[in-house]
Amino acid sequence: MKRTLSLLIALCVIVSAVTACSSPAGTTNNTEQTQSESSGAQESETQQASETPVDTVEELKPVRFVQPGTYNAEYEVGLAAINEKLKNDGVGIELDVIRIPWDAYAEKLNLMLTSGEPFELLHIMQDVKNLSSIAGIGAVISLEPYLDNYPDLLANFTDIEWSGTLYNGERYAVPCYWRSFDNTMSTVQLRTDVMKAVGYDTLPTDIDQVIDMMKKSQDYILDETGIKAYTWFHQVQDTSHWLHRFYDTFPFYVENSLGIVLARQDGTIDSFYESEEFKQDAATYRKIFEAGLINPDIMNLDHQVQYDQADLGAFLLSPTFEPIEQVTIKRITGMDTTVEALFAQPEKPDLIYTFVQNINAVSSTAEDPESGLKLLEWLYKSKENHDLFHYGIEGQHYNPVGDDRIEYIRDADDKQLFYLDTWMTGYLPLMRFDAESPDAQIEMMTYKSDHYVVSPIAGFIFDSNSVATELTNLQTELISSIYPIKLGIVDYDSNIGPAIEKLKAAGLDKYLEEYRKQFTAYYEANPNVAEMAKEVKK
């Protein structure tokens, strides 16, 4: 790895040489046992209790781990195997994964956090509901009082990765290093076999040519699959980062969960929806929409339906997929296709906007604040633990292929029998990749840029607690006023004025003022941030 990054935050990590120890859990909790029948002894219960050696039984602490998603068919089987190994390893905890279906995730999570429902660990997606918004309401706790008890866990991550878990200067979560983030927001993914079939050897450097390629690809895929393919975001609130590489003002970064904040490399924080860059985005997506390349019902489409169609090969250039999608398409349809992640304007530097995106935090309602840390330290301790936790029982749920590949055992509907998502808890040095994965998939996951610039916002986490009302109002207003413009459903010129007025009425200026205030304090306290942002590494 050629990247050499300066330390963003002055972290003082004092690693204790003493790890908290637990006695191995016993196999029984009954202190009044009968003697073996072979002894023939007839003794009282009192005599039995005093004369029979009984192991000290440690109570297993619960680790209720809240994550988005649903369960596989043999979740209970895999969970039992995980808990058996946790018990045999003497960790002193018992795992239960609480999965919230995606279609109910935001509502159910908010209810859990505000109602004080007891659980131990929470997976946080910084681009969906970030750490500050959760820590700001007291739903998760600082890990500073406990981390020195887990030196192995501390050592799994760099200081810069830990810096991505800071809230009010303290570490509030454990990083999830499941992939490199050097190019996460820089690429678009598409079927390059279709791209070449319609006459383009590489991704065009001109937007009008990109749209022409997409139109021809749509016709090709319709003939091939019988499905009209569209371009779409993973989530409608996602920002058009791939498109920004076409602009003369690049590099800059737009915060992804709401798209309100535009961070320029000189440390300036602008209102994105009032910027020329958003105007350019809207104009391009209006062309794409009018060309019939965006589903007219995009605002209401079921998330799963989009993915089901993509699994049949029916999708256009989108900032959504990974090369592994070609494996899914072939398995389901038999089609040989190639899916690649490409850079628009590849001569421009990559923009590193974060050092950690997914994190796991300890709930303020945890029965034992350290039980979640015990789980994560155990998980990252060995490949054996990592395999069992994520892939299940070897020979029943998966078969290893070499050191870093895997074959999943599937049911009659081609579904994995057991799987806990590595994007929430995986550790890249221990991860396995589908045996059929193209090399491009692993290259993308482990990509380390040799031509990049770091956004000044990369290590900053905004605390939205003081503008919580404005944030709620803005979230609602963005859906009704801004997203139709952003997605090209309505034109920019006729709608942006009233939309901005509504955003300001919802609290846009107050939100931006607070954001600038916090970022300025961070920026001034960390002069290395400005230095990093000025230098394009090669």
Q: For 87-97, what is each residue's pLDDT tens digit?
A: 999 999 999 99
Q: Is the pLDDT of residue 9 over 50?
A: no
Q: Is residue 43 part of a domain?
A: no
For residues 464 and 513, state if they share a domain: yes
For residues 243 and 327, state if they share a domain: yes
Q: What is the mean pLDDT of the chain?
A: 87
Quick one: pLDDT at residue 184? 66
CB 199 within 8 A of CB 216: yes
**pLDDT tens column, 394-417:** 999 999 999 999 999 999 988 999
Q: Is the pLDDT of residue 64 over 70?
A: yes
Helix or strand holding residue 264 (H, E)? strand 261-264
Q: How far is CA 359 from the centre of its chain?
A: 8
For residues 468 and 333, state if they share a domain: yes
Helix or strand holding residue 225 (H, E)? helix 207-225
Q: Is the pLDDT of residue 24 over 80?
A: no
For residues 326 and 376, state if they share a domain: no
The mean per-residue pLDDT over the stretch 76-82 comes to: 98
Q: Is residue 51 part of a domain?
A: no
For residues 171 and 280, state if they share a domain: no
Q: Name the percent of the chain lying above pLDDT 90.
A: 66
Half-sphere exposure for 209 (CA within 13 Å, toward CB): 12
Query: Going by C-beta distance under 8 Å and a sequence separation of 6 or more, which residues neighbour residue 197?
Result: 220
The mean per-residue pLDDT over the stretch 314-342 comes to: 92
Quick one: pLDDT at residue 228? 96
Helix or strand holding residue 350 (H, E)? strand 350-352
Q: Name the percent of the chain lying above pLDDT 70.
A: 89
pLDDT band of 357, cuts 50, 70, 90:
confident
Domain CATH code at residue 516: 3.40.190.10
Q: Is the pLDDT of residue 517 over 50?
A: yes
For residues 286 and 375, state if they share a domain: no
Considering 431, 458, 481, which residue would you say is the last residue of a domain?
431
Q: What token pair was written down for 269? A: 């924080």
Q: Indicate the SS3 state at residue 40.
A: coil
pLDDT band of 528, cuts 50, 70, 90:
confident
Q: Is the pLDDT of residue 26 over 80?
A: no
Q: Is residue 64 part of a domain?
A: yes
For residues 324 and 460, state if they share a domain: yes
For residues 315 and 220, state if they share a domain: yes
Quick one: pLDDT at residue 303? 73
Domain count of the fold of the chain: 2
Q: Is the pLDDT of residue 149 over 70?
A: yes
**pLDDT tens column, 227-242:** 999 998 887 888 899 9
For residues 419 and 509, state if they share a domain: no
Q: Indicate the SS3 state at residue 11.
A: coil
CB 133 within 8 A of CB 465: yes
Q: Is residue 49 part of a domain?
A: no
Alpha helices in 291-333 (DSSP H): 303-310, 325-333
For residues 300 and 203, state if they share a domain: yes
Q: Is the pLDDT of residue 49 over 80?
A: no
The residues with which 140 forms a beta bridge, in sequence order, are 363
Quick one: pLDDT at residue 232? 84
Q: Is residue 365 part of a domain?
A: yes
Residues spanned by the domain of 415: 57-179+355-431
pLDDT band of 3, cuts 50, 70, 90:
very low
